[in-house]
């Protein structure tokens, strides 16, 4: 440890959607790394410890080191030449970078999509279908006397969700914290989150929708046949008891995870939990919230929505945004072989997409921007190494409850940030597109430049 | 387009400078209107055209968390109305809640160059400013929601008036707001904390505090601090039969102090709660006419698709009960609530026609156009894209009669609309869409064409069909730069943020901070919005700054 130590207070951890902004980071400025992250959970500590400065080049083309400028030129040429270029990722970068990425898609008439399409995309669709009664996390802390988690395991995925926001904190109308709340966990198996709950309800795999729909019926005073237990693994008495708890609480909340959105039923499951929440507002105040994963996936939804009107899966082929999940979502554009160039930003689809999609990635020019070498950067035609948001750059991120937070940089990185690279690419693709169309406009005259 | 510009041969409408249709040149240099420019300035020949200051929207919902939630909610609203880009401009989508780029460009295509977002939670200020950065052409600001702020209400309960005043100023500074907004003051806590109930009376105390006490405190504080625009108030009981009494009481609470009442059409209903309302437009406008301290915007309802989005969450829930449509509710910790749902106003429905007619009554019975300002509470009463049609309804009696004949006649019979012959003049339209709102906002450089004014100028072809005329300006000039020429986009412009920075004692932070640590989930030091979110901006001075 060197003498050159800096303390950064109120820094933000972007590992998960909790986006805790109470980190106290101890930074060794000589070694350029974070040696201590006070208040961080186990995941956050790993996040801060692992993001040191690497020794890979800022830019590579086909595995060979090149200048940043050469890589920007090659990227712009590749994107403009393509007939169906796609941009994907974005959930682990700043809103400022996301805005540039959407601009590039607009200019090149490409397709833009985010990791939402493979996590809570179904919740986005359900939201469009039925709406949602929801809240910022502080309302849960201050008011919720009934907290239900469904299809998620925050103890493992969002370790501070319970302690910072929802279960243990004392709040304005919850003076005794945990003692004033009833906590329920619904899942297909007993997870490490179960000990936190007063009541654990085990549902047969793939039967969440049936349980949710039965709850809706019971809330509305309809009869449910006791055979529901055989179908779902949950007895009628248990359901009736849960309905009783839900109707009689003062402020209830239903959190849900990918156990609902990525299993049988998908957006029907999300829609059912949102509709159940709406129904409950006839009796008391009730809210619901998907527990989002990546640090700024919520920001990506917001940026795409304000710039295009749609949250993910957006295509600009016709010169204006169109939305069609299944058609313009990335697993689909790759698996069908539509995409003829791809730019992946702060995401590693080559490590987690279906095999057929990865096979297609290998056939087309791929551009990657990432803080680390990844499966995706390894197969990329152009690979940029960028600095890490919230560690080397400031900028804006949105917590899972749409609350925007400005990050603090802990130490400088020799690598450029995503926004800088994307802004340069945007300028260059704009020039190329104008040249292609024979339009003479000085850069700076138009919005896009 | 060069930095100097001369507009010649146009008929000027500039009520602030008492110019009513006189042919006169306008000279522009470096984004401002000046007395003269050199002879080699670029010329725009406005022969046969009408020249007005750029439009100023005093009350609309165009950016921020609730607007974006409404965008996400309605793909069906966007897909029928794409907004293609041009070499100069970004693409987007329209509908009643357009994307940010489409919002800026579409305001420009109506000749509007300034718009104020009327309701932003403090915690959502950062989001709103980010969207503003992507909302081109227009200058913009927002009103920050403080009327249901729990910390401020606690100070009022405890009679800590000076700290209340300091905290209001701190919040306005911390969020980069333009003024404070009250929405259904006192109504959030019953909604969130008492099983979706609401306050029903301006003097009904909740935990020892009534809406009237909250309203009075904000009106006084904002006037004391000399904000350019007074407290902007969405009264209690919006939409409910018999609510005109609440509206009158709210205005009386102001005494002779300045106050702005938002979308008064929604607050001018007679009748009994739970039954169909009738019109009390005459009573409301009579009070406004005789009290020069009050400004208001009408919140006209226009038939067709709308989107309800309001910090009045209990109201949105009531409407949801009527329509059974998809519904969004968002509770914001310590600060506010919000409700959103798709809506449509239909000619055959009694209530909707009554609302439409009451709005027109208010306009037509207004004796002071400077204080009764055009708005649709976009997108609550209808899109801002319907302003040209609304202008035609006001200017063209024949057209109005045709429209009246097509709507619910039982509702019309409950109003005085058939007896109102008035037709607005172009001069009066210039007042209710430009000069009036600029004056009410305290924007001394806007709403007029005199030397020193921002060169935000719209040039329309003079036409008999006023809807057509106001739908397609031939030129739109923003800050001295031509944005639209011969009906085509020929440039782009960022527009700037308008905000105020009232002075406050920094010690108030020590009072606010412990509350944050206990009840907020964001750190106090991360709460205030930094200057980095203001790209181009203008601090409008308060009376106390001058």
Write out the two tokens for B316: 């949105």
Question: If residue B105 lies in a helix (H) or strand (E), which one and from where to where?
Answer: helix B100-109
A69-102: string of b/e by CB count within 10 Å (b at 16+)?
Answer: eebbbbbbebbbebebbbbbbbbbbbbbbbbbbb
Angle between helices B350-365 and B387-395 (to 10 degrees): 60
pLDDT at residue B88, rounded to an integer? 84
Write out the two tokens for B53: 């200051």
- Give the C-alpha separation, A323 to B190, whole Å: 39
SS3 assignment, position A22: coil
Average pLDDT score over residue span B56-63: 98
What is the Cα B282 distance to its own chain's centre? Answer: 23
- Give the C-alpha separation, B205 to B186, whole Å: 8
- Asked whether the bond before B330 is cis by omega within 30 degrees of 0, the reply is no
How many residue contacts between A and B have a Cβ separation below 8 Å? 209
Min Cα separation A298/chain B (Å): 12
- Give the C-alpha separation, B497 to B528, whole Å: 17
Nearest to B90 among A106, A278, A285 (CB): A106
**Cβ-based contacts of A128 with chain B (< 8 Å):** 72-75, 326
Q: Which of A124, A116, A140 is nearest to A288 (CA)?
A: A140
**Cβ-based contacts of A402 with chain B (< 8 Å):** 65, 69, 127, 330
Greatest CA separation found in chain B?
70
In sequence order, what DSSP letters do the residues of B359-424 get, joined into one string? HHHHHHH-S-GGGEE---TTTTSS-GGGHHHHHHHHH-HHHHHHHHHTS-HHHHHTSSGGG-----
Min Cα separation A173/chain B (Å): 9
Pairing of strands B92-93, B112-120: unpaired
Question: If residue B477 lies in a helix (H) or strand (E), which one and from where to where?
Answer: strand B475-478
What is the Cα A252 distance to its own chain's centre? Answer: 24
Residue with tokens 């500590």: A45
Residue B190 pLDDT greater than 70, yes or no = yes
Write out the two tokens for A129: 């279908």
Tell me which residues of chain A, numbers 274 to 293, contact chain B at a CB-CB cutoff of 8 Å. 278, 281, 283-285, 287
**Cβ-based contacts of A308 with chain B (< 8 Å):** 91-93, 99
Q: What is the ipTM of this complex?
A: 0.97
B79 to chain A: nearest residue by CA? A322
CB-based contacts of B189, cutoff 8 Å, min separation 6:
B148, B150, B206, B207
- Give the C-alpha separation, B39 to B33, whole Å: 16
Contact (CB<8Å) B492/A447: yes
B178 touches B229 (CB < 8 A): yes
A422 touches A345 (CB < 8 A): yes
- Give the C-alpha separation, B239 to B341, whole Å: 15
* CATH class for the domain made up of B52-489: alpha beta
CB-based contacts of A317, cutoff 8 Å, min separation 6:
A84, A109, A110, A111
Question: If residue A155 lies in a helix (H) or strand (E), which one and from where to where?
Answer: helix A154-157
Average pLDDT score over residue span B386-404: 98
pLDDT tens-digit profile of B254-286? 999 999 999 999 999 999 998 999 999 999 999
A72 touches A60 (CB < 8 A): no
Min Cα separation A56/chain B (Å): 31
A370 touches A386 (CB < 8 A): yes
B114-139: string of b/e by CB count within 10 Å (b at 16+)?
Answer: bbbbbbbbbbbbbbbbbbbbbbbbbb
A283 to chain B: nearest residue by CA? B195
What mean pLDDT, rounded, does chain B reach?
Answer: 97
B136 to chain A: nearest residue by CA? A447
A102 touches A403 (CB < 8 A): no
A397 to chain B: nearest residue by CA? B127
Min Cα separation A131/chain B (Å): 5
Write the DSSP symbol of residue A195: G
Least confident stretch, A50-54, B175-179, B226-230, B358-362: A50-54
Runs of H (alpha helix) within B229-326: 244-253, 281-290, 313-323
**Cβ-based contacts of B518 with chain A (< 8 Å):** 170, 172
> What band does B545 get if pLDDT is binned at 50, 70 and 90?
confident
Min Cα separation A251/chain B (Å): 7
Residue B2 pLDDT greater than 60, yes or no = no
**CATH number assigned to the domain covering A54-118+295-437:** 3.40.50.740
pLDDT at residue A445, rounded to an integer? 55
A251 touches A284 (CB < 8 A): yes
pTM greater than 0.95 = yes
Print the SS3 string covering B121-166. CHHHHHHHHHHHHCCCCCEEEEEEECCCCHHHHHHHHCCCHHHHHH
Q: Where are the beta strands (DSSP E) in A230-316?
A: 251-256, 285-290, 314-315
pLDDT tens-digit profile of B500-509? 999 999 999 9
pLDDT at residue A444, rounded to an integer? 53
SS3 assignment, position B431: helix
Nearest to B131 among A128, A306, A403 (CB): A306
Sequence ranges of the domains in chain B? 52-489
CA distances from B170 to A17, B265, B271, B541 (A): 29, 33, 42, 16
pLDDT at residue B1, rounded to an integer? 43
**Cβ-based contacts of B526 with chain A (< 8 Å):** 10, 12, 21, 405-406
Question: If residue A226 lies in a helix (H) or strand (E), which one and from where to where?
Answer: none
pLDDT at residue A449, rounded to an integer? 35
B235 touches B260 (CB < 8 A): no
Angle at B280 between CA B277 and CA B283, to 5 degrees: 160
- Give the C-alpha separation, B512 to B1, whole Å: 50
CB-based contacts of B104, cutoff 8 Å, min separation 6:
B135, B136, B137, B138, B495
What is the Cα B335 distance to its own chain's centre? Answer: 21
Write out the two tokens for A122: 């179904």
pLDDT tens-digit profile of B412-423? 999 999 999 999
Q: Where are the beta strands (DSSP E) in B427-479?
A: 457-461, 475-478
Q: Which of A56, A176, A256, A129 is nearest to B73 (CA)?
A: A129
Pairing of strands A382-385, A131-135: unpaired
- Mean pLDDT per 10-residue segment, chain A (449 residues): 90 96 96 96 96 93 98 98 98 97 98 94 95 98 98 96 97 97 97 97 97 98 97 98 98 96 93 98 97 94 98 98 97 98 97 97 98 96 97 96 97 97 97 90 53
**Cβ-based contacts of A270 with chain B (< 8 Å):** none
Contact (CB<8Å) B71/A437: no
Contact (CB<8Å) B84/A320: yes
pLDDT tens-digit profile of B206-251? 999 999 999 999 999 999 999 999 999 999 999 999 999 999 999 9
Interface test with A, best of B521, B526, B530 (most A CBs within 10 A): B521
CB-based contacts of A139, cutoff 8 Å, min separation 6:
A251, A287, B192, B331, B332, B333
Tell me which residues of chain A, numbers 88 to 147, contact chain B at a CB-CB cutoff of 8 Å. 95, 99, 103, 106, 124, 127-139, 141-143
Min Cα separation B531/chain A (Å): 12
pLDDT at residue B74, rounded to an integer? 98
Helix, strand, coil percentages, rounded to 5, for chain B:
40, 20, 40
- Give the C-alpha separation, B222 to B232, whole Å: 10
Tell me which residues of chain A, numbers 296 to 335, contact chain B at a CB-CB cutoff of 8 Å. 301-302, 305-311, 316, 318-323
CB atoms within 10 A of CB B486: 8
Nearest to B130 among A127, A143, A396 (CB): A396
SS3 assignment, position B49: strand
- Give the C-alpha separation, A421 to A369, whole Å: 9
* CATH class for the domain made up of A121-290: alpha beta
Number of H helices, E strands in chain A: 17, 20
Interface test with B, best of A128, A136, A166, A170 (most B CBs within 10 A): A136
- Give the C-alpha separation, A184 to A176, whole Å: 18
CA distances from A285 to A291, B145, B330, B339 (A): 20, 22, 11, 13
pLDDT at residue A439, rounded to an integer? 84
Rg of chain B over Cα atoms, rounded to whole angstroms, equals 22
**Cβ-based contacts of B124 with chain A (< 8 Å):** 404
**Cβ-based contacts of A138 with chain B (< 8 Å):** 333-334, 519-522
Q: Where are the beta strands (DSSP E) in A93-235?
A: 111-114, 131-135, 146-150, 182-187, 199-202
Least confident stretch, A260-269, A306-315, B55-64, B297-306: A260-269
The segment(s) of chain A belonging to CATH 3.40.50.740 are 54-118+295-437
B387 touches B327 (CB < 8 A): no
């Amino acid at each position: 440890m060197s003498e050159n130590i800096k303390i950064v207070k109120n820094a933000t951890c972007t590992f998960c959607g909790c986006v805790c902004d109470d980190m106290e980071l101890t930074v060794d400025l000589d070694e350029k790394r974070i040696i201590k992250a006070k208040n961080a959970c186990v995941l956050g500590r790993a996040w801060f410890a692992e993001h040191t400065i690497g020794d890979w080049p800022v830019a590579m083309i086909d595995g060979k080191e090149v200048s940043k400028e050469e890589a920007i030129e090659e990227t712009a040429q590749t994107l403009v030449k393509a007939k169906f270029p796609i941009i994907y990722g974005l959930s682990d970068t700043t809103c400022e970078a996301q805005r540039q990425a959407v601009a590039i898609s607009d200019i090149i008439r490409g397709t833009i999509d985010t990791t939402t399409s493979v996590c809570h995309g179904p919740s986005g669709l359900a939201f469009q279908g039925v709406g949602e009664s929801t809240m910022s996390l502080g309302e849960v802390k201050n008011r919720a006397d009934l907290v239900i988690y469904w299809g998620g395991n925050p103890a493992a995925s969002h370790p501070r969700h319970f302690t910072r926001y929802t279960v243990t904190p004392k709040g304005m109308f919850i003076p005794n914290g945990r003692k004033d709340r009833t906590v329920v966990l619904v899942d297909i198996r007993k997870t490490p989150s179960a000990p936190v709950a007063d009541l654990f309800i085990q549902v047969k795999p793939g039967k969440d929708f049936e349980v949710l729909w039965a709850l809706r019926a019971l809330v509305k005073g309809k009869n449910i046949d006791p055979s529901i237990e055989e179908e779902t693994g949950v007895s009628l008495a248990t359901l009736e008891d849960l309905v009783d708890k839900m109707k009689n609480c003062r402020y209830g909340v239903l959190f849900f995870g990918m156990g609902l959105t990525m299993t049988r039923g998908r957006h029907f499951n999300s829609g059912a939990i949102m509709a159940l929440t709406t129904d409950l507002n006839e009796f008391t105040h009730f809210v619901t919230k998907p527990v989002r994963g990546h640090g700024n996936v919520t920001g990506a939804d917001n940026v795409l929505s304000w710039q295009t009107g749609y949250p993910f899966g957006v295509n600009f082929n016709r010169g204006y945004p169109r939305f069609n999940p299944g058609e313009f979502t990335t697993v689909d554009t790759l698996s069908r072989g539509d995409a003829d160039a791809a730019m992946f930003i702060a995401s590693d689809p080559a490590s987690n997409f279906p095999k057929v999609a990865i096979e297609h990635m290998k056939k087309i020019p791929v551009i990657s921007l990432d803080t680390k070498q990844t499966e995706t950067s390894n197969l990329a035609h152009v690979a940029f190494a960028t600095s890490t948001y919230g560690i080397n750059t400031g900028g804006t991120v949105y917590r899972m409850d749409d609350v925007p937070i400005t990050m603090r940089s802990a130490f400088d990185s020799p690598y450029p940030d995503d926004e800088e690279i994307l802004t340069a690419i945007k300028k260059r693709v704009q020039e190329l597109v104008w040249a292609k169309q024979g339009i003479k406009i000085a850069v700076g005259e138009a919005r896009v430049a | 387009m060069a930095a100097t510009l001369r507009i010649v041969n146009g008929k000027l409408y500039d009520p602030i400078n008492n110019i009513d249709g006189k042919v006169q040149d306008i000279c522009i240099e470096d984004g401002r209107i000046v007395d003269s420019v050199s002879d080699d300035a670029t010329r725009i020949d406005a022969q046969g055209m009408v020249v007005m200051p750029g439009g100023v929207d005093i009350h609309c919902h165009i950016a921020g968390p609730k607007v974006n939630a409404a965008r996400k909610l309605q793909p069906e609203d966007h897909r029928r109305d794409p907004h293609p880009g041009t070499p100069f401009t970004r693409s987007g989508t329209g509908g009643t809640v357009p994307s940010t780029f489409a919002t800026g460009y579409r305001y420009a295509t109506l000749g509007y160059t300034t718009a104020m977002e009327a309701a932003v939670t403090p915690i959502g200020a950062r989001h709103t400013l980010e969207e503003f950065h992507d909302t081109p052409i227009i200058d913009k600001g927002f009103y920050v929601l403080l009327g249901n702020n729990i910390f401020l209400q606690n100070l009022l309960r405890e009679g800590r008036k000076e700290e209340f005043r300091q905290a209001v100023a701190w919040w306005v500074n911390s969020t980069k707001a333009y003024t404070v907004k009250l929405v259904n003051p006192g109504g959030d806590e019953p909604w969130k904390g008492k099983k979706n109930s609401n306050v029903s009376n301006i003097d009904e105390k909740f935990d020892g505090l009534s809406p009237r006490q909250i309203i009075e405190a904000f009106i006084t504080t904002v006037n004391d601090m000399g904000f350019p625009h007074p407290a902007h108030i969405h009264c209690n009981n919006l939409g409910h039969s018999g609510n005109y009494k609440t509206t009158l009481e709210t205005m009386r609470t102001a005494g002779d102090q300045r106050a702005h009442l938002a979308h008064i059409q929604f607050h001018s209903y007679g009748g009994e709660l739970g039954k169909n309302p009738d019109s009390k437009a005459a009573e409301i406008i009579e009070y406004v006419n005789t009290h020069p301290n009050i400004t208001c915007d009408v919140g006209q309802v226009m038939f067709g698709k709308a989107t309800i989005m309001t910090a009045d969450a209990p109201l949105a829930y009531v409407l949801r009960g009527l329509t059974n449509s998809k519904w969004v509710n968002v509770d914001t910790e310590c600060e506010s609530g919000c409700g959103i749902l798709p809506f449509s106003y239909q000619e055959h429905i009694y209530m909707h026609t009554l609302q439409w007619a009451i709005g027109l009554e208010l306009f037509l019975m207004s004796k002071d156009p400077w204080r009764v300002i055009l708005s649709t509470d976009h997108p609550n009463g209808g899109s801002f894209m319907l302003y040209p049609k609304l202008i035609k309804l006001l200017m063209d009696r024949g057209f109005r009669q045709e429209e009246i004949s097509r709507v619910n006649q039982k509702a019309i019979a409950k109003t005085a609309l058939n007896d109102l012959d008035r037709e607005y003049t172009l001069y009066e339209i210039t007042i209710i869409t430009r000069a009036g709102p600029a004056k009410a906002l305290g924007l001394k450089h806007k709403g007029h064409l005199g030397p020193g004014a921002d060169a935000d100028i719209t040039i329309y072809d003079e036409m008999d069909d006023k809807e057509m005329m106001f739908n397609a300006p031939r030129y739109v000039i923003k800050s001295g730069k031509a944005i639209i020429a011969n009906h085509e986009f020929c440039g782009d412009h960022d527009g700037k943020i308008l905000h105020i920075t009232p002075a406050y004692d920094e010690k108030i932070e020590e009072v606010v901070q412990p509350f944050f640590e206990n009840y907020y989930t964001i750190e106090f030091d991360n709460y205030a919005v930094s200057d980095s979110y203001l790209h181009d901006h203008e601090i409008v001075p308060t009376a106390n700054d001058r």
